[in-house]
Structure 1
Amino acid sequence: MNEIRGKKILILGFGREGQSVKRFLAAHYPNIIINTADQKDGKDYLKHLNEYDTVIRSPGIPSRLQELVDYKKNSGWITTATNIFFSQRKGITMGVTGTKGKSTTASLTAHILKQKFSDVRLVGNIGSPMLDHLDGVTNKTIFVIELSSHQLEDIRYSPHIAILLPIVPEHLDYYASYDAYVRAKTNIIRFQTKKDVVIFHSTVKKIAETSLGKEIPIVDSKFSAPTLRGNTTNIQAAVTVAKYFDISGDTIKKSLGTFHPLPHRLEFVGEYKKIRFFNDSLATIPEATIHALRALGSDVETLIAGGFDRGLDYTILRDYLNKHPVKTLILFPDTGEKIGRDVSIQKFFVRSMEEAVKLAYKHTPKNKICLLSPASASFNLFKDYEDRGNQFKDWVRKLAR
C-alpha cells in the first residue's frame, strides 16, 4: 500500500482515530515498528519525527505545524487514517461535509439506504473510525462517511459521491484564515473524475462546479419528519441521495418516520414545570444558534449561550437577538460578553451549568422554551459539546424534582 512507507511508523495523536490506526496496522502489518506520540506526552512530542519513515497524522493535529512542514521538506512521508482508508476502499464511497448538519445528513442518508441495500456502513467523523470497518467489504458495500475539514485538509482521494452542505466560518482557531478552511472542505471533490458525482447545496454551487463529476443540486422536496425539526436541508440532501439510488417515495417517507434524531442537535429534553427544554449543544457557531431560534420560533424566551472563544464574529447573532422575542440570556465565558454586548434584554453571566439551569427555571415563563444553543465551542468549561449537553440534560432533570 502506497500510504505506508518503510518499517518505522509513528502515529501522531492517540485519540479514538489514532487507536484505530494502531489496531489496523497491527492486524495488517505485523513486521513494522509502530510508535505513538501525543500532545499529552508533553511539549516535545514532535521532537523525533525524523526517526520515522511514515508519520500518520490524526485530525486534531494541524498539518501546518512547523515540525510537520520541516519533516515533509526533509522527504518525510505524512499520511492520515482517511488516506489509508480511501487507498483500501472497495464498493461505493459517499462523503458528507459542510459546516453543520454533517452527522444528521450522513446518519439519515445511511438509514434510508439501508432500506434497499444490505451492506451500508456509516463511518468517519461521526465517531466510528473508518479503518475499523474494512473487514468483509465487497464491491456492493456502500460507505457513508462524515468528513470534517481536519480529515480533508491533506486528503489525496475523493469519494465517488460527495455531498456538500453549506459552509460558513468555523474552526478559525485552527486554520490561518476562513479561505484555508474552505479549501480544506473543497478537497472532498478535488480528486473526483467524470465517473463521480457531487450533490450540493445552492450556497456552495461555485465550489461544486470545480468537480469533474456530475453535478446534482439539492432540491426542495415534499418530505418532512416531525422528529427532525429544523433539519430541512439535511432531509433534502438525504432525499436527493435516495432519489439518485432510485429509492421510492414510499420508502423514503417510511424511513423518515423511523429515524431517531441524534443527541445534542435541537434535542427535546422534555417538559418540566411546564417549561420545554431543548439541547442544541452542537451549535458552536452563531449561524447554528440563529437556525435553532428560527426552528423553534417565538416560544423561545430563554437562551443559554457562550463558551470557548475561537475568534468568531457574533454581530449577526446580536442583531438577531435584538429582533427575536428572547427575554433572558444566560451566558458562559468567554464569548458570553461578546454575545451579550449591545443586546437590550435581561442577561446573566454564569460559570457552571447548574447555575445556568437554576436561572432558566427561575426566569422562563410557563409554556415557553429554554434553549441551550451556545454558538461557541465548549472546551473552556466542559470536556466537549457532549459533556456540555449531557450536563444540561442532567441539571434540567435534577432541578425539576
Structure 2
Amino acid sequence: MRISQLEGLRVALWGWGREGRAAHEAIRARLPALPLTLFCNEEEARSAEALKDAGLRVLTELSAQALSAFDVVIKSPGISPYKPEAQAAAAQGTRFIGGTALWFGEHADADGVAPDTICVTGTKGKSTTTSLLAHLLRAAGKRTALVGNIGLPLLEVLDPQPAPEVWAIELSSYQTVDVAASGARPQVAIVLNLFPEHLDWHGSQQRYIEDKLALVTQAHPRIAVLNAADPQLASLSLPQSDVRWFNQAAGWHLRGDDLYRGDAFVMDTRSVPVPGRHNRSNLCAVLTALEAIGVDAIAIAAAARDFQPLPNRLQWLGERDGYGYVNDSISTTPHASLAALECYGDRPVALLLGGHDRGLDWQEFAVHMQQHAPPVIVTMGANGPRIHGLLAPLAAQGRFQLAEAADLPQAMQRARALLPAPGVILLSPGAPSFGQYRDYVARGRHFAELAGFDPALITQIAGIGIQ
C-alpha cells in the first residue's frame, strides 16, 4: 500500500512511539490535509497535542467499536493485531498495517519489487547479522542504509537524497507480515533460524512461525537466503523465489571455526568479533546474500574482522574485582540464554535469568542444564519463580547452585556471593524487560552501572543510518 492510497480513507494511528511519530510525519509529507485520529495513552497524547496539528484528533480510549470506524489503522509494531479489539474491528473490515508496509509500498517498482532491499529476520542473531551485512556492503564500496527494527524506523528514511545503493533492513516478527501486506517483493530475504518467541504478541508458537515466515512465504522475495541447518527452514518450498542455502556443504558454511565456500577454505572465523558460534555461522548468511547480489563475497569476507560488535548482545563490558561482565540483555528466549552459555563454556559462569513472563516453555532449557549447567544460576523477575521451580530439583542434586532474587541488583549481589572469582557474571535473562525496565537497553545500562561501568558508553550501535 502506498501512502497516496490513503487519500479519501478514514485513517487512524495506533501508538505514538518512534514508529507512530514516523508514520505521522511520513503521511503529513505526502498528504498534509488527510484527517487522522491517534489512539494512544495519556502521556503520549500530551506529546501529540503539542504538535498543534489541526488535522490530528487524539483519543486515549480505545475499543473495537472505535477501531472499526476506520478503513485503515496504522499501528506501531509492538501492538499485536491479534488483540481482541483489533480482531473484532478487522472482522468489520478495518485493515491493520504498520509503517513497514507503507515504506515497502512506496519503494515498489513497476514489477512489484522493492529493489536493492535485503531483509533479515530470525529468532536470534538478526541485529548482528544485519549490522554485519551493512558493514561488508560498505567495505565493498556500496552506500548502504542500516535501518528497521535495529533502531531506525523505515519511515524516518522514506525518501533520502541521495538514496543508498542497498538497504540492509532488520525485521522483527512484528514486521514481517507487513512486508507481505505492502504488495512489494523484497530483492533478498534472509531467514536465520526459528525458535519459540513473542508468544504473547502472536498468540501461539504456530502463528509466530507463520508470521515470521511470511517474509518468504507471502512476500515472495526474488531471492530467499535460508539456513539449511534449521529443520523448519530446510523443509520449506518456495517456488516463487530463487532459494540460496547457507550452512550447507555446497555453499557457505563452517567446519569447526573455519569458513568455507563449498570445498574452498576462506578464513578462520575466530578473529571475527561477533559473540558466539551462531553469529559466526550467520556470517555465512551474509556472504550468501552478498554473493546473490553480485558482490565478490570471497574477496570481502576478511573485512568481517573489522566489524564492531553490537551493545546488549553478548557484550563484553570488562572486568571488575576478578569478575568479567557480559551484557546479553537483548536475550528474550531460553534458546538465546543457551547460546550465550555456549560462548563461555570454558569459564565459571553465574547466569542471571528471568524477566517478563510471556509463557515460553523452559523445559528444554532445564533438560540442557542436566549436563551443561554453569556453576551458578540466579533467577529474577516475574517468571523467576517459575524458572526456579523447574530448576530446583536439578540444583538439589548438586549440579549447580541456584538462588532467587527480587530484581537485578539483588541478583548481582547473589551471583557475586556464590561464584568465586575469577568468573563471568552473565546477564542473559531469556525474557523481556517489561515491568521493571522500559526496554532491554535500559536493563543493559542498569547492569553495566551495577557492574561499575559507564552505561552511556555501551549503548550506541555503530553504523545505523545511511553511510
- Normalised to the residue count of structure 2, the TM-score between the two structures is 0.79
- The amino acid across from 1:285 in the alignment is T
Residue 236 (structure 1) aligned with residue 284 (structure 2): yes
Counterpart for residue 353 of structure 1: 408
Check conservation: 2:68, 2:93, Cα contact below 8 A: no
Q: Sort the Cα spacing of 1:324 and 1:76 in 2 relative to 1 into closer, same or farther, 3 A.
A: closer
Distance 2:138 2:406 in 1: 44
Q: Sort the Cα spacing of 1:356 and 1:398 in 2 relative to 1 into closer, same or farther, 3 A.
A: farther
Counterpart for residue 242 of structure 2: 214
Distance 1:293 1:133 in 2: 37
User: Secondary structure at the residue paired with 2:6?
Assistant: coil
Distance 2:203 2:297 in 1: 45
Q: 1:14-72, CA deviations, whole angstroms, 9 ceiling, x for partnerless residues? A: 11111100111111111211221125565536552244343212212221233333433
Counterpart for residue 80 of structure 2: 62
Counterpart for residue 101 of structure 1: 125
Distance 2:233 2:408 in 1: 40
Shift of 1:364: 2.3
Q: 1:135-183, CA deviations, whole angstroms, 9 ceiling, x for partnerless residues? A: 2367863111111111123532441211011101111112221111111
User: Secondary structure at the residue paired with 1:337?
Assistant: helix
User: Secondary structure at the residue paired with 1:174?
Assistant: helix
Check conservation: 1:94, 1:160, Cα contact below 8 A: yes
Q: Does 68-77 or 292-301 show the bigger shift?
A: 68-77
Distance 2:67 2:38 in 1: 11
Counterpart for residue 200 of structure 1: 226
Counterpart for residue 375 of structure 1: 430
Q: 1:280-307, CA deviations, whole angstroms, 9 ceiling, x for partnerless residues? A: 1111111111111111113133111111
Q: Sort the Cα spacing of 1:300 and 1:28 in 2 relative to 1 into closer, same or farther, 3 A.
A: farther
Aligned counterpart in structure 2 of residue 125 of structure 1, from 142, 145, 149: 149
User: Secondary structure at the residue paired with 1:276?
Assistant: strand
Shift of 1:211: 4.9
Distance 1:5 1:278 in 2: 50
Counterpart for residue 293 of structure 1: 341
Counterpart for residue 253 of structure 1: 302
Residue 149 (structure 1) aligned with residue 169 (structure 2): no
Q: Sort the Cα spacing of 1:164 and 1:137 in 2 relative to 1 into closer, same or farther, 3 A.
A: farther
Gaps of 5+ in 2: 43-58, 108-113, 248-252, 260-266, 455-467
Counterpart for residue 204 of structure 2: 177
- The amino acid across from 1:162 in the alignment is A
Distance 1:274 1:8 in 2: 61
Check conservation: 1:13, 1:58, Cα contact below 8 A: yes
Residue 111 (structure 1) aligned with residue 166 (structure 2): no
Distance 1:103 1:141 in 2: 20
Q: Sort the Cα spacing of 1:137 and 1:247 in 2 relative to 1 into closer, same or farther, 3 A.
A: farther
Distance 2:35 2:92 in 1: 21
Q: Does 374-383 or 356-365 show the bigger shift?
A: 356-365
Distance 1:26 1:45 in 2: 26
Distance 1:14 1:343 in 2: 45
Aligned counterpart in structure 2 of residue 395 of structure 1, from 450, 453, 456: 450
Counterpart for residue 19 of structure 2: 17
Q: Sort the Cα spacing of 1:211 and 1:262 in 2 relative to 1 into closer, same or farther, 3 A.
A: farther
Distance 1:327 1:139 in 2: 51
Alpha-carbon RMSD = 2.4
Distance 1:211 1:140 in 2: 30
Shift of 1:347: 2.0
- The amino acid across from 2:191 in the alignment is L
**After the TM superposition, which residues 274-313 of structure 1 pair with which residues of structure 2 at under 5 Å, given as runs?**
274-313=322-361
Q: Percent identity?
A: 28
Equivalent residue pairs, number: 397
Q: Sort the Cα spacing of 1:143 and 1:226 in 2 relative to 1 into closer, same or farther, 3 A.
A: closer
Shift of 1:236: 1.8
- The amino acid across from 2:404 in the alignment is F
